Structure 1
Amino acid sequence: MQEIARRSRALRVYKIYNIAKDFSEYDHIYFPCNIDFRGRIYPMSYLNHQGDDIMKSVLHYAEPKECTRDLEDLELLKIQGCNLYGNDKISLKERCEWIDKNEKEILASSAEPFLSSFWEGADEPLQFLAFCDAYRDALLYRKNHGTLVGFKCPIPIAYDGTCSGLQHYSAMLRDEIGGNAVNLVDHERPADIYQNVADKVKMLVEIDSMCGTENYTKYYEENGRTVEKRGTKSLADAWLAYGINRKVCKRSVMTLAYGSKQYGFGEQIYNDITKDNPHFKGYEDPASKYLASKIWQSVQDVVVKGAQAMEYLQKIARKVVNSGKPVQWETPLGLDVQQVYLERDTKSFKTRLGTSIRLPIYYMDIDKQEELRKTEQVNGIAPNFIHSLDSTHLMMVVNESSLQNYTTIHDSFGTSLGEAHVLKGIIREQFYKLYTEYEPLSEFRKQAEALIGESLEDIEEPQKGKLDIAEVLSSTYIFH
């Protein structure tokens, strides 16, 4: 199995290399994109700027904008390098200091990458190696010219959101607790919602380790087996021995904004951690469900209003589908979004070569479709609604600015080094504009009322908190 996986990875690298080699013959290449039904933007080509580390590392801007600032732009380049290495939880000043401290290793990685292992320790090793080359060139240019002004840096400088879905929920509901956790307000160093939740989870698990229930045996008459039922003390000890950190909790917290709940958390933990893990052998499922309950309990303290907003959206969606219509709404930029989930069947076809292929067939079956659509419409509204808002924010940023270069990935915005400081301000300005000129939850209810011809005022909209949304304009880490 390991050899099959290795060969698959090798073939993929070979494919990317050959496509990149073909593209390298051209002075400029472009990536045509599609938008999905929510407005999210996706490139159409196999090799693209939304790919993995390998793909991103081979792409450079054809016409990067010249730097217009000396030390400020050099700092932005250092921050990008530190982010790529994985040190993005420290302050911006500390990131610059980290680059200065490791400058010798960075330059050695650029000069002799096969003799240096430093770059291999990065979270995004190949992109970091591309940064090493860019940083070397920047230092050489600055040495020769006495300033970085005029330097053209080919690698993208990116600004990423902090748990984007919860940022949007916190902004629309002026949630001061959630907003603080996802950097809508300024901090000396970035707030880390995943670590905050992990700390709360660990505290709850430690309590169970001391005061939890003991294991006991239970007899099942239907199959005559005597099995051990794991108590909370045993499960807590197992998780403490394994280690509870931000990585363990990150996926659950991240997907909360897209409708995932305790049951979904359990499935994620099972697939990501406990399944086939010798540490949890024999009780993989109970271990995943146990930790999911602790994460669910902990996250409620951080995103109270986000959970209220999701419940509100689902109540309205249920009213709409019960009227016989699919849920639909219009984004602030006028994009019509409609959730249409069709019943799917799978049929086999025999080819002339004698092989069989299975293809999905979509059709409308009133008896089956109505029940399926109701379930999927209600479950899909939270993620689709938020995706339509983060795509709106992205489009607003692009529409407002006149930057020469863009590298966008949903809640991540990139441009060339010479334009990065301009983009930094536009991202914040448009996020502020989105949530001061538009009331997403109120508008959704009004549009649903018009769609079904019925008042939905009995569904109470969540009350707003006390967050001053203007703080996003000066927040250092809302996108960093």
Structure 2
Amino acid sequence: CVLTQRGHHVPLSNDSTGGRWWQTGDDPWQVLACCMELTSAVRSGDPPSFISHLPVHQDGSCNGLQHYAALGRDWLGAKQVNLVPGDRPQDPYAGVAAMVEEQRAKDAAEGHEIAINLEGKISRKVVKQTVMTVVYGVTWVGGRLQIAKQLRGSIPDDQLWDCSAYVVGEVFRALRQSFAKARGIQDWLSASARKVSLAQRPMEWVTPLGLPVVQPYHKMYQKSVSTQLQGLNMRVAWNPSYPPDTRKQKNAMPPNFVHSLDSTHMMLTALHAHRAGISFVAVHDSYWTHACFVDTMNRICREQFVTLHNEPILSDLAQFLEHKFGDLTYRDNSLEKRKRIQKCIFRDPFPTIGVSKFRYALFL
């Protein structure tokens, strides 16, 4: 006896192999668990009344970009990550892949050798990891390595570096075009952290839930030890009394700030799910509940996202930084000598307006 599901036969006997098609997916054990639950439902004799204990996962659509789109009130970006209503769900990864492929085709038509070598190689899978992590601070080098990993095997090894470098450049270009305000917010967050660290203080802020956050990135202390055989330079682990590491403070601020918004949204959803009496589990932006509670969880998830982003988050952050660090000065050696001493000034990069329309997005 079998149950046909999307063209496959789900085994309903004790033999769980069923042709082993379930082993071909990214999460084969989850597929098998679902098959076993479907089997139990069918065998119960009354599937609609079957009590399922299998958690149903609902994932955000590139939720780092969702937060940036909401922070910047970026309607175009919001549409691409399913924050606004639409007839069908948008796929930001496929969208970026399409933009990269469009540019590749143009370059190939002009005789660009690398673009020609990449014909038929650009896909959603190739760009997904880089698109997903760029909002968390992935660098050009890191993005190139991610794409090289996906291209390996389909591109000759001697062409892999050039091809991955080309693709990561086009991915970054596509993201700048599609999510311009996200880039602006990232730059503002990085610049703010740089000012604070140059003033010899670690970057800190308070989440909308009131949780204080301090970035623990300090310079390492280097100590020289001389022996009869050789001299050694020992790097001692960071200590809060050491000066902040400006580079790490600056680079870490955008991803850490967005992670703090992620955690705030997750906690708000968990609290309201508890009040509604439904089971709730979360792993980052993946929210789980039982099948009978999915609609309720989806409603709560959207409502709490709107509640979070109806707060003037960037304005509050700018005011906090101005109050906390506004009396400090810092030395900026990148400026000409007479202008190097600067005062810490923080301004909200975007005006605050409502985001209530996001509540009605079907595919968040």
What is the TM-score of this pair, normalised by structure 2?
0.83
- Paired residue for 1:473? 359
Instruction: Tell me the distance in 1 between the aligned counterparts of 2:290 and 2:348.
Output: 45
Alignment-derived partner of residue 374 in structure 1:
246
Cα distance per residue 1:366-397 (max 9 Å; x no partner): 7xx53x61100000001000000000000011
Per the alignment, residue 239 of structure 1 pairs with 118
- Aligned partner of 1:206 in structure 2 is 105
Quickly say closer, same or farther: Cα 1:100–1:396, change in 2 above 3 A.
same
Match of 1:148 among 15, 33, 48: 48
Instruction: Give the drift of 1:361.
Output: 5.5
Q: In structure 1, what is the Cα distance between the partners aligned to 2:267 and 2:260?
A: 11
Could you say if the C-alpha distance between residues 456 and 440 of structure 1 is closer, same or farther in structure 2, counting changes exceeding 3 Å? Answer: farther
- Distance, in Å, in 2 between the alignment partners of 1:252 and 1:115 is 35
Label 1:458 to 1:410 Cα distance change in 2 as closer, same or farther (>3 A).
closer
Give the Cα separation in 1 of the matches to 2:285 and 2:279: 17
| Alignment CA distance shift 1:188-1:111 (3 Å) | farther
- Which residue type is aligned with residue 252 of structure 1? T
Q: Provide the identity percentage.
A: 29
Separation of aligned partners in 2, 1:183 and 1:432 = 13
Displacement over 4 Å in runs of 4+: 98-101, 343-347, 455-460
Q: Does 1:331 align with 2:207?
A: yes
Secondary structure of residue in 2 paired with 1:105: strand
CA shift for structure 1 position 476: 1.5
The 5-angstrom pairing of residues 350-429 of structure 1 reads: 362-364=237-239, 370=243, 373-402=245-274, 403-429=277-303
**Structure 1 pair 426–292 and aligned structure 2 pair: CA distance change class (3 A):** same
Q: CA deviation at 1:263?
A: 4.2
Equivalent position to 1:157, from 43, 46, 56? 56
Question: How far 1:152 sits from its partner (Å)?
Answer: 1.9
SS of equivalent to 1:148: helix
Partner of 2:181 in structure 1? 305
Q: Deviations over 1:129-183 (max 9, x none)?
A: 1111111222333x34xx724x321110111100010001111221111100000
Return the match for 1:442 from 298, 307, 315: 315
Contact 1:274 1:285 (8 Å CA) reproduced: no
Give the drift of 1:115: 4.2
Residue 315 of structure 1 deviates from its aligned partner by: 1.3
Structure 1's 345 and 316: CA in aligned 2 closer, same or farther, altered over 3 A?
closer
Contact 1:109–1:117 under 8 Å retained in 2: no
Which residue of structure 2 aligns with residue 273 of structure 1? 150
Distance (whole Å) between structure 2 residues aligned to residue 307 and residue 288 of structure 1: 22
Distance 1:110 1:180 in 2: 45
Distance 1:298 1:453, change over 3 A: closer
5+ residue gaps, structure 1, are: 1-97, 213-232, 348-359
Matches within 5 A, 1:47-86: none
Distance in 1 between residues matched to 2:315 and 2:42, nearest whole Å: 52
Bigger RCO of structures 1 and 2 (CA < 8 A, at least 6 apart): 1
Q: 1:463 to 1:252 in 2, by over 3 A?
A: farther
Number of residue pairs the alignment of both structures matches: 335
**2:135 & 2:67 partners in 1: Cα distance?**
9
Which residue pairs with 1:139 in the alignment? Answer: 42
Contact 1:157 1:414 in 2 (8 A): yes
Counterpart of 1:55? none
Q: What displacement does 1:282 show? A: 1.9
Cα distance in 2 for partners of 1:476, 1:397 equals 17
Aligned residue in 2 for 1:27: none
Alignment match, 1:260: 138
TM-score by length of 1: 0.64
The aligned counterpart of 2:198 is 322
User: For the Cα contact (< 8 Å) 2:66–2:78, is it kept in 1?
Assistant: yes
Contact kept? 1:195, 1:245, Cα under 8 Å = yes
The amino acid across from 2:263 in the alignment is S
Unpaired stretches in structure 2, ≥5 consecutive residues: 224-234, 328-342
Spell out the pairing of 1:182-193 with structure 2 (5 A cutoff).
Answer: 182-193=81-92
Q: Distance in 1 between matches of 2:273 and 2:154?
A: 52
